[in-house]
Amino acid sequence: MTPKFLSAVFFLLGVVCFLVKAQDKPLVQKPKPLEPSSMQQPVSNAPARVQSPAEKYFSDVELINQDGQKMRFYSDVLKDKVVVINTFFTTCTGVCPPISRNLERVQEALGDRLGKDAFLISMSVDPETDTPSRLKEYSSRFHARPGWIFLTGKKENVDWALYKLGQYVETKDGHTNIIIIGNEPKGLWKKAFGLAKADELIKMVEDVISDR
């Protein structure tokens, strides 16, 4: 594995050092979902397909976008892309709408570069409710254009993809306000507060596109 890829894995798993006061409670280990059944391959004598370290880590669990199209998590969503990823659910009335409005501002700033230089990825933490048609309706509220992808799918697959991003939660209301901004080819990954000023998010996205 390359040093950049290893650093990205550590970042996404939340292996981060914090300055913790002596009286603070120890960090609690994050929950882990069950491995998707699609990844539990039967034993075979045939040679296994060679996977890159990134593909092996993130996996290619099948997800579904707002247009009902199937997308492999690593190969179709992340590979060779700059991505801006948030988590949400369509019935959320708290932080989800303002974060989505921030992403709409990022979309405006990217202009014609959306879907080329960078992709916006919004992943539902409530896939059993958030069908593709619900995602489509939600995306229209924020004038999403091609290059802003909303994802749902089988719960076990969505949970696994979220886990690999360090964003898996056991209940939908526990989802974070964090936006992940990644340059997959460069192995550069950053986190941002989803409720930050839109201009700050736009600058960070531009920096990641430029690999800074």
| H runs (alpha helix) in 13-147 | 53-58, 96-110, 132-141
Model pTM score: 0.85
Name the DSSP class of 67.
T
How would residue 52 be classed by pLDDT, with cut points 50, 70 and 90? confident
Q: What pLDDT, in 10s, does the model give residues 98-155?
A: 999 999 999 999 999 999 999 999 999 999 999 999 999 999 999 999 999 999 999 9
Separation of alpha carbons 3 and 174, rounded Å: 32
Within a domain: 41: no
Residue 16's pLDDT band, with cuts at 50, 70 and 90, is very low
Transcribe 108-133 into DSSP letters: HHHGGGBTTTBEEEEEES-TTT--HH
In a domain, 80, yes or no: yes
Q: Is residue 133 part of a domain?
A: yes
Give me the pLDDT at residue 39, please: 78
Cα separation, 119 vs 138, in Å, equals 17
**For 47-56, 92-101, 104-113, which range has the lowest pLDDT when averaged over its residues?**
47-56
State the residue range of the domain holding 79.
3-14+53-209
- For the domain that residue 178 is a member of, what is the CATH number? 3.40.30.10
Work out how many domains the chain is built from and give that number.
Answer: 1
